């Protein structure tokens, strides 16, 4: 069974990055102009024969008209999946072939294209607002905090007094909200390529984009890879990559040795980086090679962790935690617990992260231990 689990998927480090789409347009204007918005199928690049899935959004037209605000959403390009369930959004991922998740839609709130990517925001019936980027589910309000909190606090709670933190991607602001809980932090830089993302999240997800309200935040609108290469050596205590959608050309780019070396160089000795990675149910033996590569490049600790996020593939998300050569970082035994009385700009204490769940995130099922090259206890 373990072999069965790992054989379907072969993915590497994942990233959301620049895409060559059309000009950024306001969603409302877009909706007035077009009844049917079709993204090119290249939005989700074919991947091991599972891809080529195009997102087609059919508004006020076609046979999908229902009482749900005249909305229908369809995913037409797989051979045997028919195009439309009226009033439901189909989440189809090249990482989960043979499976489709449908969310009941109450209302489309935003649909816009920038020169980089295409964002869809809808109000779901039971999962809060949902954001879809280039046809991939980015987050739901119901469970976004699990991902945001773990990606942030796994690295920041593992080192003493982090002061300078860089976020690459993460334009939604949720990671900024979580960094904000750390009082020791003096400087929070975010490099996000796409202003449309920031604007849309500020408008439709104020509880997530609240992170931008932290006065320590400095926003750089730039290409993350170019930005990383410009950073003076040893600048940051921690870097967080918020980058996890379907792997494509740009994911390879970010997993490229040069990019990882740029990150390692930008970190101080004993500095840490968190990178979203394959979920435990989709990892295979290539994960061991990735970990070895990271060990070579970063020179400190490299660990794989995971957590539960129901909306993501297999209901889980994996993380790579790496530290550079220098003061030893023991990710599995965090030394910098969250102060439950410091919320920063967040509205209350963390909902998911605590010191116990931090340590538990590094405990893997046996099949995942084997795939990551660690011994089964």
Cβ neighbours, 10 Å, residue 30: 17
**Residues touching its own copies: how many (CB under 8 A)?**
64
- Asked if 2 is part of the footprint of its own copies (rule: CB under 8 A), the reply reads yes
- Asked if 342 is part of the footprint of its own copies (rule: CB under 8 A), the reply reads no
The encoded tokens of residue 19 equal 């895409």
Strand partners, 58: 36, 72
- C-alpha 217/C-alpha 192 separation (Å) is 12
- C-alpha 136/C-alpha 52 separation (Å) is 13
Compute the least distance from the CB of residue 32 to its own copies, in Å. Answer: 26
- Asked if 178 is part of the footprint of its own copies (rule: CB under 8 A), the reply reads no
Which residue from 146, 240, 227 is spatially nearest to 188, judged by alpha carbons?
Answer: 240
Name the catalytic one among 242, 256, 258, 330: 242
- Asked if 88 is part of the footprint of its own copies (rule: CB under 8 A), the reply reads yes
DSSP state at residue 96: S
Q: Which of 194, 367, 371, 372 binds its own copies (CB under 8 A)?
A: 367
Compute the least distance from the CB of residue 372 to its own copies, in Å. Answer: 13
Compute the least distance from the CB of residue 335 to its own copies, in Å. Answer: 14
Q: Which residues contact 243 (CB under 8 A, 6 or more apart)?
A: 14, 15, 16, 17, 168, 169, 224, 251, 254, 275, 276
Cβ proximity to its own copies, 51 vs 224, nearer residue: 51
Cα atoms in the 13 Å half-sphere on the side-chain side of 139: 25
Helix (H, G, I), strand (E, B) or coil at 268: strand
The encoded tokens of residue 211 equal 């992170």
Compute the least distance from the CB of residue 4 to its own copies, in Å. Answer: 6
Map the footprint of its own copies across residues 257-316, applying CB under 8 A.
Answer: 280-281, 308, 310, 314-316
- Asked if 341 is part of the footprint of its own copies (rule: CB under 8 A), the reply reads no
- Asked if 51 is part of the footprint of its own copies (rule: CB under 8 A), the reply reads no
- 12 has catalytic annotation: no
- Asked if 103 is part of the footprint of its own copies (rule: CB under 8 A), the reply reads yes
Cβ proximity to its own copies, 66 vs 187, nearer residue: 66
Cβ proximity to its own copies, 32 vs 67, nearer residue: 67
Compute the least distance from the CB of residue 366 to its own copies, in Å. Answer: 5
- Asked if 62 is part of the footprint of its own copies (rule: CB under 8 A), the reply reads no
- C-alpha 299/C-alpha 264 separation (Å) is 9
Q: Which of 12, 25, 195, 207 binds its own copies (CB under 8 A)?
A: 207
- Asked if 356 is part of the footprint of its own copies (rule: CB under 8 A), the reply reads yes
Burial of 373 (0-12, 13-18, 19+ CB in 10 A): middle
- Asked if 102 is part of the footprint of its own copies (rule: CB under 8 A), the reply reads yes
Measured between its terminal Cα atoms, the distance across the chain in Å is 19
Q: Are strands 164-169 and 236-242 parallel, antiparallel or unpaired?
A: parallel
- C-alpha 349/C-alpha 5 separation (Å) is 36
Residues taking part in catalysis: 242
Applying CB under 8 A, the residues found at the interface with its own copies are 1-2, 4-5, 8, 66-68, 80-82, 85-88, 96-104, 124-128, 141-146, 207, 280-281, 308, 310, 314-316, 337, 340, 349-357, 359-360, 363-367, 369, 376-377
């Amino acid at each position: 069974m373990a072999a069965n689990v790992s054989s379907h998927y072969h993915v590497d480090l994942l990233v959301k990055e620049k895409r060559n789409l059309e000009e950024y347009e306001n969603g409302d204007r877009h909706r007035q102009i077009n009844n049917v918005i079709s993204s090119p199928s290249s939005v989700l690049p074919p991947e091991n024969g599972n891809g080529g899935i195009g997102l087609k959004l059919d508004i006020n037209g076609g046979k999908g008209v229902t009482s749900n605000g005249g909305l229908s959403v369809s995913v037409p390009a797989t051979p045997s999946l028919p195009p439309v369930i009226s009033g439901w959004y189909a989440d189809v991922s090249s990482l989960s072939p043979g499976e489709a998740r449908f969310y009941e839609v109450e209302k489309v709130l935003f649909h816009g294209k920038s020169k980089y990517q295409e964002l869809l925001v809808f109000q779901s019936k039971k999962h809060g607002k949902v954001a879809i980027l280039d046809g991939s589910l980015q987050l739901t309000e119901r469970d976004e905090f699990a991902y945001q909190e773990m990606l942030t606090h796994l690295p920041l709670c593992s080192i003493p007094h982090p002061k300078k933190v860089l976020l690459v991607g993460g334009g939604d602001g949720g990671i900024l909200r979580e960094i904000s809980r750390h009082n020791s932090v003096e400087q929070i830089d975010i490099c996000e390529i796409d202003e449309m993302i920031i604007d849309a999240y500020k408008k439709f997800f104020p509880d997530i984009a609240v992170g931008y309200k932290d006065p320590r935040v400095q926003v750089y609108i730039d290409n993350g890879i170019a930005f990383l290469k410009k950073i003076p050596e040893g600048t940051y205590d921690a870097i967080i990559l918020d980058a996890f959608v379907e792997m494509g050309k740009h994911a390879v780019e970010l997993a490229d040795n040069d990019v990882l070396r740029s990150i390692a160089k930008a970190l101080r000795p004993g500095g840490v980086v968190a990178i979203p990675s394959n979920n435990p149910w989709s990892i295979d033996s290539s994960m061991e090679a990735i970990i070895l590569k990271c060990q070579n490049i970063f020179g400190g600790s490299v660990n794989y962790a995971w957590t539960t996020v129901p909306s993501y593939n297999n209901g889980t998300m994996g993380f790579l935690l790496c530290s550079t050569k220098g003061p030893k970082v023991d990710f599995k035994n965090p030394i910098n617990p969250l102060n439950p009385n410091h919320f920063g700009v967040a509205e209350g204490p963390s909902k998911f992260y605590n010191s116990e769940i931090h340590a538990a995130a590094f405990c893997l099922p046996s099949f995942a231990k084997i795939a990551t090259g660690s011994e089964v206890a």
